[in-house]
């Protein structure tokens, strides 16, 4: 097991984690930005107003992107377990 292999394996894991988190975090950021613009336009400075829309949007995005996220995670895990004998050599 070389250092290039370890770096490549860690890179693959980090890429998978970022790819899985990107849709949910993107939706949360977009909804947060819309709510912040709405608050600044209407001059409503309520701190708790931002949480409820973001939580609802993140839950809906997890329902929408959930199968895709699970499929990516399962394919990565399957690849790791399939190639496990070559990893321990």
Rounded Cα distance, 44 and 46, in Å:
6
Q: What is the pLDDT, as a whole number, of residue 64?
A: 96
Rounded Cα distance, 41 and 22, in Å:
28
For 27-38, what is each residue's pLDDT tens digit? 999 999 999 999
Q: What is the pLDDT, as a whole number, of residue 30?
A: 96
Q: What is the DSSP letter of 49?
A: G
Q: What is the pLDDT, as a whole number, of residue 20?
A: 95
| Averaged pLDDT in 10-residue chunks for the chain of 89 residues | 87 95 96 92 84 94 96 95 85
Tokens of 54: 């973001």
Sketch the domain layout of the chain as residue ranges.
Answer: 3-87
Q: Give the other-Cβ count within 10 Å of 27's Cβ.
A: 19
Q: From residue 68, how far is each of 20, 21, 44 by CA, in Å?
A: 9, 12, 37
């Amino acid at each position: 097991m070389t250092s290039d292999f370890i770096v490549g394996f860690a890179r693959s894991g980090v890429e998978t984690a970022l790819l899985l988190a990107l849709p949910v975090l993107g939706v949360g950021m977009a909804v947060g930005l819309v709510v912040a613009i709405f608050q600044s336009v209407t001059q409503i400075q309520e701190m708790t107003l931002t949480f409820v829309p973001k939580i609802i949007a993140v839950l809906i995005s997890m329902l929408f992107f959930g199968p895709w996220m699970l499929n990516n995670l399962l394919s990565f895990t399957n690849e790791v377990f399939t190639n496990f004998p070559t990893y321990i050599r």
